[in-house]
Structure 1
Amino acid sequence: MNITTRTSSITNAFINSIIPVITPSINDIREALAILALEPESLLCAYCGDPSTEWDHLRAIVKDKRPTGYISEIRNLVPACGKCNQSKGNKEWSIWIVGDAPQAPKQRGIQDLEARMQRLHKYEEWGDVKPLNLEELIGEDLWEQHWKHWDTILRHMNEAQSTAVEVRQRVLDRLSSKSTDD
């Protein structure tokens, strides 16, 4: 276990903490589900048709360790199963869905894939979501301050990892010398 293996979790926390969540109206949800040909009573994954367990950002909110400008709102969210959501990650849905990623719908042999893709394209048109320029909206100073905190935490994590390696080695050395003393 390395402390630095958790840097992506820290990055996601820094991004998710600034991304607004806009609560949809019941009518917005109904309209969204109608476009996707889904029933609210038995919500299915928009990508593959398995039972939905979560909502996926159709357009990724994180890429290359920075926010994309897309936010959490109904026009950027679709019901998804865990397999699809995890497999898709931050990839472009229209490339991923027919790609060779493990658990991608094409790889799993989903039969009505073309119809699903047509509904997702229609959904994108309905949403017509444009990314926000977050830095411009909040101002350069506050934006830089936020990312300076992120950088400081990652730097401290790297320093902590170096210390952890040294601590582990000393413990191993003590254990080795103790066993040879016995």
Structure 2
Amino acid sequence: MLGDAVHSPNRRGISDLMERVARLEAFERWRTPTRIDYPVIATAERWAKHQNYLSLVLAILAEAEVHAKELREHVEQSLRRQRDAG
């Protein structure tokens, strides 16, 4: 947040940045996080199955994003043709 990366809040000039940092720090002090070792608790086989599902979902989302872009372009072209035909 406070770094010099191009899109960091600091570089973008976020006016209440220090207040936001303070809120995040207060949240971090709120309590100790619970660490969960999913492969151990759920078994390695179940965790691998879950990770496989995650990979499948991400692949489908990427495919859907490509399809949505193609669909938007098709609709825009169709509307343009309709306007031009007039």
Question: What TM-score range do you get, normalising by the shorter chain?
Answer: 0.5 to 0.7
Identify which range, 130-139 or 166-175, moves more after superposition: 130-139
Q: Is it true that 1:166 corresponds to 2:85 in the alignment?
A: no
Kindly indicate which of the two structures has a greater share of residues assigned to helix. 2
Give the TM-score, by structure 2 length.
0.62
Corresponding residue of 2:18: 100
Divergent runs of 4+, >6 A:
none
Counterpart amino acid of 2:76? L
How far, CA to CA, are the matches of 1:142 and 1:180 in structure 2? Answer: 57
> Percent of aligned pairs with the same residue?
17
Instruction: Give unpaired runs (5+ residues) of structure 1.
Output: 1-98, 106-112, 114-119
Corresponding residue of 1:177: 81
Query: What SS is found at the alignment partner of 2:22?
Result: coil
Corresponding residue of 2:55: 151
Which structure has the higher relative contact order (CA within 8 Å, separation 6+)?
A: 1
Query: What SS is found at the alignment partner of 1:132?
Result: coil
Cα root mean square deviation, aligned: 3.0
Within a 5 Å distance, the mapping from 1:106-121 to structure 2 comes to none
C-alpha deviation, 1:130, in angstroms? 5.7
Instruction: Give unpaired runs (5+ residues) of structure 2.
Output: 1-16
How far, CA to CA, are the matches of 2:85 and 2:78 in structure 1? Answer: 10
Decide which structure has the larger Cα Rg and report it: 2
Give the TM-score, by structure 1 length.
0.31
Identify which of 13, 33, 37 aligns with 1:133: 37
Query: What SS is found at the alignment partner of 2:62?
Result: helix
